[in-house]
Structure 1
Amino acid sequence: MHAAPPTSQESPRDSASVVLLQDGAAGMQVLLLRRHAKASNMAGIYVFPGGKLEREDHFADGSTHLDQPLSTLAQQLSEDGTTPATAVALYVAALREALEECGLLLAEPQTADRVLDASDARKRLRGGQAFTNMLETLALRLQTRALRPWSRWITPVAPSMSTRRFDTRFFVARAPAGQVARHDDEETVDTLWIAPRTALEQYRDGAIDLAPPQIMSLAHLARYASVEQVLEAASCRRPPTILPQAFDDGETRVICYPGDARHAVRERALPGPTCLQYRERRFFPEKGFDALFD
């Protein structure tokens, strides 16, 4: 069962986020970027690379810059009511944001005589060249096959941490080998490769700030030992849709997720707790930090 579309004066904006993963000596790590302290939304928060759909993210079927047809991408995304054109735009937006925000380019040269240069591609974007023009100039094909749909998060009608509402599709992907992630010093000001559980421990201790979708997503990822396990899990299930429902219990802010007795959708969407409480400037399960991993 999936959450019903929200009713609000502001409809959520389509957006995409990519959870980039790598295997390290101490286990799997995830990439987090810190938003600028003066950002209009989620200021100072550590997030996955992502952003709203742009006009340039809409590619025609059969484009030489895509490695899969629109119909295949729509089938993989598995969303009722989402057109193939929007599905492909979500994949493209996730790949574009990865390049813009942290410099990682999930693409391949169209011909054998070309060399993939992520730094050059990002420099062109920062110099004002349009994303599609950059792909054309460098003869690149986007690796949509590298992305696996993971979850869909819709901002609550009454947001707790943002001023805008988004309908964000989270994709998981293995970080490309031989490339180095770097924040852009504009939208993002820090780059952090970290184990999911360690990130949550740092959040608990006040070292970093996270938003509820990142908290719940990191708790979910902490259950996997390797990138391959995450990608395999993503291939075996339909991405859950999570429309949190927020309310105030006295002076305590509570965010409920599908499966909670107070949520309209009774079927659980995620492992772990079905609600978070906001106390001492942190979101935690009612039964404490360790309940994130139960």
Structure 2
Amino acid sequence: MAGRFWKEAASLIIVGRAANSGLQKCSQRQTDYNLLFLKRSQKSKFMPSAFVFPGGVIENSDFSQEWLEVFEKCGYSPKDLQRDFGTNGPRPELYTNKPIKSILPEIGFRISAIRETFEECGLLLASHQQGPSLSHQDRREWQKAVHEDSVKFLKLFQEFGGCPAIWELHEWSNWLTPTKMSSRRFDTAFFIAFMDAIPELIHDDMEISEIQISSLSNILKQWNSGDLWLPPPQLYEISRLLQFTQFDKVKHFAQERGKKGLERILPVRFNTSNGVISVLPGDDLYPETPDLYGEEDIQSVDASMEELQQNAQCLHRMEIKGFHHCRIFMNITPRNSHVMPVNFMDLFQTTKL
């Protein structure tokens, strides 16, 4: 049903070692790594001015069979790619509805995430390159060209050699925009990648207006104080990463967890007497058959969020009282060997963040 009700997209969580990684010991939640955030243009039709991870809508060119020739020149046959990216874990629906004459969706979505990252901030994740790297001016020109025509991303590698660094991307999550939240909805595959250092970047001045490389605690403090806005999927994924303080440990976890599969997360919203609950799979309130297409009205409950929580045994929800007030609760085992999110609002109250 993609295309009629939503578009498919790919997003990339970039994790980089912090330059002062050995010095951040002022708090139990300080990390020795940073994340890359991009501020969407205030003119954007979807989530204007939000701070998000790089990413965007997939293109047909991301799934072109011409990519097989690019990988062949780097020493990878179609059988090699099937071996490296095939999995017996759960596959999300956005992987299963691709045309037969296309490359593996596990590869196409990775290419899309790498392409969008390059378009938006100039970060090119490439491997197996034999010649000199692109000059600053060449990179800027190719960034603009790819933004105007996604096919140029394929041409970039055909001309300069190498291939997208798809092996560096690990499956992390899959979010579908809730119904009746926006006129635009996206079914997005989130990947995660790791770098020893995030280089100086250049945003595109069209979709993106600002770049921020920030620790988890710093970005959350800015969000809590109202200095910036983080959409719910970003808040949730940041809260999961709060379980890790060390770059090497979160990298090892992501590499292993990425082999366990993905399942779509569709938040189902309930209006309560004092805010909105975004209910996630496994919660007592989560419907057995959620409304995928917005055919039903958002349900209103004559009770407070606190009252609903007291009466629940299985919790997996986000309680939202405003753009800068969100609490996350989960007391069930995460699916696909993932980690529980941390309720960071409690950390603000105990000054541990």
For Structure 1 versus Structure 2, the TM-score category normalised by the shorter chain is 0.7 to 0.9
| Structure 1 position 28, deviation (Å) | 1.1
Residue 274 of structure 1 is matched in structure 2 by 316
Partner residue in 1 for 2:63: 58
Distance 1:147-1:208 versus aligned 2 partners, 3 A rule: same
Cα 1:78–1:218, aligned 2, differ >3 Å: closer, same or farther?
Answer: same
1:12 and 2:12 aligned: no
Going from structure 1 to structure 2, the CA distance change for 1:108 and 1:156 (only over 3 Å counts) comes to same
2:248 — aligned with what?
228
Larger displacement relative to structure 2 (36-45 or 222-231)? 222-231
Structural mapping, 1:280-291, within 5 Å? 280-285=322-327, 289-290=345-346
In the TM superposition, residue 150 of structure 1 has moved relative to its aligned partner by: 0.8
8 Å contact from structure 1 (residues 74, 88) kept in 2: no
Q: In structure 2, how many angstroms separate the alpha carbons of the residues matched to 1:198 and 1:178?
A: 17
Q: In the alignment, does 2:117 pair up with 1:117?
A: no
In structure 1, how many angstroms separate the alpha carbons of the residues matched to 2:126 and 2:88?
Answer: 19
Contact 1:34/1:191 (CA < 8 Å) preserved in 2?
Answer: yes
Is contact 2:38-2:209 (8 Å) kept?
A: yes
Residues 17 and 49, structure 1, Cα contact 8 Å, conserved in 2: yes
Larger radius of gyration: 2
Question: Taking structure 1 as reference, are residues 250 and 278 closer, same or farther at Cα in structure 2, changes over 3 Å only?
Answer: same
Aligned to 2:115: 96
User: Following the alignment from structure 2 to structure 1, what is the Cα–Cα distance between the partners of residues 216 and 4?
Assistant: 32
Task: State the partner residue of 1:73.
Answer: 85
| 3-state secondary structure, aligned to 2:104 | helix
**Match in the other structure for 1:142:** 164
User: How far apart, CA to CA, are the structure 1 residues paired with 2:88 and 2:17?
Assistant: 25
* Residues 77 and 286 of structure 1, relative CA distance in 2, 3 Å threshold: closer
- Partners in 2 of 1:224 and 1:90 — Cα distance? 26
The reply on whether 1:106 has 2:125 as its aligned counterpart is yes
The alignment's C-alpha RMSD in Å is 3.0
CA distance in 1, matches of 2:6, 2:157: 29
Q: State the SS of the aligned residue for 2:38.
A: strand
- Pick which of 205-214 and 119-128 moved more: 119-128
Structure 2 residue corresponding to 1:23, chosen from 17, 26, 34: 17
**Distance in 2 between residues matched to 1:150 and 1:17, nearest whole Å:** 10
In the alignment, is the contact (CA less than 8 A) between 2:16 and 2:197 conserved in 1?
A: no
Alignment correspondent of 1:48: 53
For 2:60 and 2:89, the matched residues in 1 are separated by 20
Q: What letter corresponds to residue 87 of structure 2 in structure 1?
A: Q
Q: Is residue 108 of structure 2 the alignment partner of residue 85 of structure 1?
A: no
The answer on whether the counterparts of 2:268 and 2:286 sit within 8 Å (CA) in structure 1 is: yes
Q: Scaled by the length of structure 2, what TM-score is found?
A: 0.70
Cross-structure match for 2:272: 249
Letter in 1 for 2:320: Y
Query: Alpha-carbon deviation of 1:209?
Result: 0.4
Report the alpha carbon displacement of residue 145 of structure 1 after superposing the two structures with TM: 0.8
TM-score by length of 1: 0.83
CA 1:123–1:176: 2 relative to 1, 3 Å = farther
Aligned to 1:151: 173
Contact 2:270 2:276 (C-alpha < 8 Å) held by counterparts: yes
Secondary structure at 2:9's aligned position in 1? strand
Q: Choose 18-27 or 256-265, whichever is displaced more.
A: 256-265
Deviation at 1:283, TM superposition (A): 4.1
Q: Which residue of 2 aligns with 1:171?
A: 191
Query: Where in structure 2 are there 5+ consecutive unaligned residues?
Result: 25-31, 97-102, 289-314, 330-342
In the alignment, is the contact (CA less than 8 A) between 1:257 and 1:263 conserved in 2?
yes
* Separation in structure 2 between the aligned mates of residue 211 and residue 115 of structure 1, nearest angstrom: 39
Q: Which residue of 2 aligns with 1:181?
A: 201
Query: In 2, are the aligned partners of 1:118 and 1:179 still within 8 Å (CA)?
Result: no
2:294 corresponds to? none
Q: Distance in 1 between matches of 2:92 and 2:225?
A: 40
Distance, in Å, in 2 between the alignment partners of 1:282 and 1:29 is 21
Distance 1:58 1:118 in 2: 27
Q: What is the letter of the counterpart of residue 44 of structure 1?
A: S
How many residues are treated as equivalent by the alignment? 277
Q: Would the alpha carbon gap of residues 246 and 80 (structure 1) be closer, same or farther in structure 2, given more than 3 Å must change?
A: closer
